[in-house]
Amino acid sequence: METLSLSEKPTVAVTENITGAEAVVKSLIAEGTDTIFGYPGGAIMPVYDALFHYQSELKHVLTRHEQGATHAAQGFARATGKVGVAIATSGPGATNLITGIADAQIDSTPMVCITGQVASPLLGSDAFQETDIVGISMPVTKWNYQITCAEEIPWVMAKAFYIAKSGRPGPVLIDITKDAQFQSFDFEYRKCEKVRSYNPVPKADPLKIKDAAQLINAAKRPFVLFGQGIILSEAEKEFQDFIEKGGLPAAWTIMGLSALDTSHPLNVGMLGMHGNYGPNLLTNECDVLIAIGMRFDDRVTGDLTKYAKQAKVVHIEIDPAEIDKNVKTEVALLGDAKSVLQQLTPLIQDNTHDNWLQQFKDCDAKEKEVVIDNEIAPTSGEMTMGEVIARINKQTNGDAIIVTDVGQHQMMACRYAHFKKSKSNITSGGLGTMGFCLPAALGAKIGAPEREVVAVIGDGGFQMTIQELATIAQTEAAVKILILNNEFLGMVRQWQQLFFDKRYSHTHMVNPDFVAVTKGFGIDAVMVDKRENLDEAVKNFIQSETSCLLEVRVGKENNVFPMVPSGASVAEVRLS
């Protein structure tokens, strides 16, 4: 467990004598927090008692499971750009947070988790509901700390928020013993502005920026890959100015989706295992590869020994650990994407690269003929996930926040959903957490109540956090819940079909009556299993002023293509 030096602890003046529990609440309010997600229990009860007196300033959302609290906090953070906050008790309450914390860590989501802990004299005694949550969470947090004295609360909370949201964002966990919550002390709060030996935003080398500009200006086939770093640094305008000036085709990771309008002429589509044909194929034909705010995940690169070996790589990245980790760079620009692009774009020459862009268009035409037309506009046969997403696009006009779970429906939504605004695509990327969507959609709607929020979920993932329907009902959050039901764990089944000779081992789902279950929670629900009823059902679904569920029965053995098989080169992308 880390200890803080005296230089990191602000000098405080006496203001008021309060308990540690009240200090937690006041610290949250001082950080601008207006919403927290949580579940009470014995070891955190003093904090919940303090919350009772601050209900007008701090809204608490009672989820039905602590994992739901973390995913809701993630959805809130991703929709707003603020730090999400989750709170739980000790023992199982704390350990139930771990999946969401790990998800936030790998997807760079700013989150502060607060857990209660047994009284400090009982630490290490295997007391009732005691777990070493600091030790358990250490590998999946940006920082964590155990508070055993009330006087530590203000400066630890201040440091927690600073670390969570600065640089490459991530989750922080603060564990507070019960006696520290009861203790009284003289409280004053000061926000943290820096931490010794922690440099969250490195400054890019001006000489390297010039080197990058020279590479890009000399390129005949430049290609930009962009990730969530564009969104996290709020560099959407700077990014668009950059690619437009250089005439640079740009493709996104699923975490970068919505940073650039999906209809922009330089937006050439999605990277990765189920990404578009052109971006995958032409990665191995570009001469300069410019990666911005992305980490070359294995689902994007495929076989690294065959990935873009012909290209000179420029990598703009805030986290030094990601530089040269997977893909060797020619020029590494360490820094915040917004700042780097502001310095780089003036050095970029006006260009169009029309012939190179035409190669992407030719690939698009081939993919449209072989895959897309059959997916989004089939004329017969079973309904497809793609055609449902196309109906959603028609009703939302690209203005909705689309939250997805993990699986085939996720890839279909990412491939076919239209987005005009940033912070509109919320999904579990790096960890791939089934059960993420329903609580994350709730958090997104609470964070952005003025926006339409559509949760797109498979029948498998829906059942992992189905209890959060009760939270949606209690909060009256108007989340639109779309279940694409193929009665399979679809992505696993697809792999079993393609690579395991159709041995569908334990992937068939015998599902409940989703409509009846949802209505049991007090939420309206409809099921559609005929194409002729789909348009009207989707229209009513989106236009509803309250939360509702639409279940659509889709083909059981439909697959997601294109596909880069596991371990293959991106140039080996398959259309069927």
The catalytic residues are 66, 128-129, 178, 491
Return the structure tokens found at 154: 């203000």
The DSSP-derived string for 96-150 is TTHHHHHHHHHTT--EEEEEEE--GGGTTTT-TT---HHHHHGGG-SEEEEE-SG
Residue 457 · residue 437 · CB < 8 Å: yes
How far is 399 from 420, CA to CA, in rounded Å? 6
Return the structure tokens found at 165: 């949201």
Residue 522 · residue 495 · CB < 8 Å: no
How far is 213 from 68, CA to CA, in rounded Å? 45
Dihedral, CA of residue 457, residue 461, residue 465 and residue 470, to nearest 10 = 30
Q: For residue 423, give Cα distances in angstroms to 196, 224, 400.
A: 32, 20, 10
How far is 212 from 576, CA to CA, in rounded Å? 38
Q: Where are the beta strands (DSSP E) in 8-90?
A: 16-19, 35-38, 59-62, 84-88
Residue 37 · residue 91 · CB < 8 Å: no
Query: What is the CB neighbour count within 10 angstroms for residue 357?
Result: 18
How far is 169 from 259, CA to CA, in rounded Å? 17
What's the distance, CA 328 to chain centroid?
26
The one-letter code for the residue type at 152 is E
Residue 86 · residue 65 · CB < 8 Å: no
The closest of 317, 329, 279, 316 to 300, measured between CA atoms, is 279
